[in-house]
Chains A and B, each alone.
Chain A
Amino acid sequence: MDTGLIIYTAAFGLILIGSTGIVLSTHLLRIIFGIALLEAGANLLLLLATFREGSSAPIIVDGRIPAAMADPVPQALVLTAIVIGVGILALALSLALRVQRAYGTLDIREVRQRLEQDIADEAGIELSSSSDAPHAVVSRQDGPA
């Protein structure tokens, strides 16, 4: 099979798996892993944008210039994108640590509930339904936007 096709499938697969993880997961760490996978897929796609089969690295070794050199620009772009991803991931994990310490849980349904409760408490308003009721989470999802 064509190498490009295989790697394209891999990139799109990573993107889909990452997106699914972010959208459907309920555990914060799994969502963060989903972000990492999604970014990996996007980086791979960027690298493949100007992929040419049979080209070699754009480096001059021992004075020999390779015949067909790959495009160096996406490699530099992906370098930047990976470092950005690492920075954001580190920050996300720090925040998850503090959220865990504050709320005692990493289940995003409970975190969202506690967040609403915190905002309501700070503003001094009462939530429409009791926060102990199990259906409270569902009713709040139908909120605006």
Chain B
Amino acid sequence: MNKLVLLVALPLITAFLLPVINRVSEFAGRWTGPLILLITSALGISLWSQLGNNAVAIELGGFRPPLGIALYADQMAILFAVGTSLGTLLLWPNVGEDRVRQSTLALILAASGSGLALSGDLFNIYVFYELVAVVSYGLIATQASSGSYAATLRYLVVSSFGAAMALIGIALVYQATGTLNLAQLAQLAPTRLNNTQGLAAFVLMLIGFGVKAELFPVNTWVPEVYATAPTRISGLLAGVVSKLALLIIVRLLVLVFHQPEALTVMLVLGIMGVITGELAAWRARDFKRMIAFSSIGQLGIMFIAFSIPGKAGIFAGLAVALHHLVVKPALFLLAERWSGSLSKLAGAAKASPLAAALFILLALSLIGVPPLPGFWAKLLVLVELSEQAQPLYYLGAFVILAGAALEANYLFRVASRFYHTEEGQTAPAAHRMPELATASLLGAALVASVFVLTPLSAQIEGIATQAADAAQYIQTVNPEALP
């Protein structure tokens, strides 16, 4: 099972050697990247099936935690690790001329995303998180437009501020407990971190890791970056990277920070995120920013879901997260040709009928119309929210419903334009094959999941139960006994 580290090491060593390979043969330089990602994804899937329902921990360097760093692979971790590799493969960047550098960055993104999902050490998570950040700066800047440089710089400033806050939080945790291993932190948390210092550390880490998860209020970078970055990169960032950041926060909540105030903070910020995101999407006048704001709203729903204590919250949040993981990249792929003003989209259905139909499918699932999986995910969240005692959770449920109404309004405003031709306006061009194919693949996955909903739901519930089990985590990692 120690082949797990290859999910990180293999794309990484390929990335280092890619410039050299490219000098030897340009054909190899072009196709080595996707090939390695294919191998990595296959390896990940085979490890997943090998793992079954168990979890496994790997001691890197042969040193038992907390001396060394441990990697922890339960079903949720491997799911997201494989998801990152597959996502990067599907949304392989192809902008401009500098292919080698782009391929290098994409490979490092796959490696760092997988590592972020698998890591079991607090500082290791921080370093992986920073790696994902730097890679995304590079990938956004591949657009090579002045707008993308400015947007990347704004993103860099917000993200660096957040990273410094996260580092302060880590310093606080280390000061209170003396260890960085998540399993040992789980053991020490009830006695050492159940106080103001622990809550302060959580808030700081929430701000830090929440930048990528588009948390309110550190999501000011979202509209500019998604509007100026290449559409595939926007799809990767919004679809995959944001979920990875959310995954870390969930792990911290399950293992280390058990205070109810922590959940309240997440709930409040999630509610604010839904309100601001959906309102802004409603007011948006161009396609890319509309779906960017909509993703802020959806991530707000996920934060509300994860703020429900226990396995129920993780189950609901995971359902919404997986659904969004499929829908958002597909929407961004469709945005490739529709990236203009909303008023220019009249008559788009004539030029690309498949794309228009896909958009309607994705919109219906996003709003939450049965029998699509989006309905089931939102229903799960609302049911769990209604079973809570605190009134704030009811506010969350109301906000989600209101958000769905707004979504229906602005998404169908756009959809109706597709089928409505106007005089004297040329429709946008048809979609190219690669984007359309990938988007159709994702749409087909969405439809297929309708038929396997019950076993899929049971599977996700199993993943959530395993993820919520802190005792099993500690037992699997098996750190040295506390002094």
Contact = CB atoms under 8 A, between A and B. Distances in A.
B293 A144 contact: yes
A9 to B, nearest CB: 15
B228 interface: yes
B127 A84 contact: yes
Interface string B283-320: 10111110001001000000000000000000000000
B167 A123 contact: no
Main SS at interface, chain B: helix
Interface residues of A, number: 48
A50 B175 contact: yes
Contacts of A137: none
Interface in A74-102: 74, 77, 80-81, 84, 87-88, 91-92, 95-96, 98-99, 102
B51 interface: no
A46 B164 contact: no
A113 to B, nearest CB: 10
A119 B285 CA distance: 11
Interface in A48-88: 48-50, 73-74, 77, 80-81, 84, 87-88
B156 A46 contact: no
Given A39-B164, A123-B339, A118 B171 contact: no
B216 A84 contact: no
Nearest to B165: A42
Interface in B32-91: none
A74 B167 contact: no
Contacts of A124: 286, 340-341, 344
B146 A123 contact: no
Nearest to B170: A46
A87 B160 CA distance: 12
A88 B146 contact: no
B152 A125 contact: no
B174 interface: yes
Contacts of B133: 88
Interface string A109-125: 00110110011101111
Interface of B: 123, 127, 130, 133-134, 137-138, 141, 145-147, 149-154, 156-157, 160-161, 164, 167-168, 170-172, 174-175, 178, 180, 216-217, 219-220, 222-224, 227-228, 276-277, 279-280, 283, 285-289, 293, 296, 339-341, 343-344
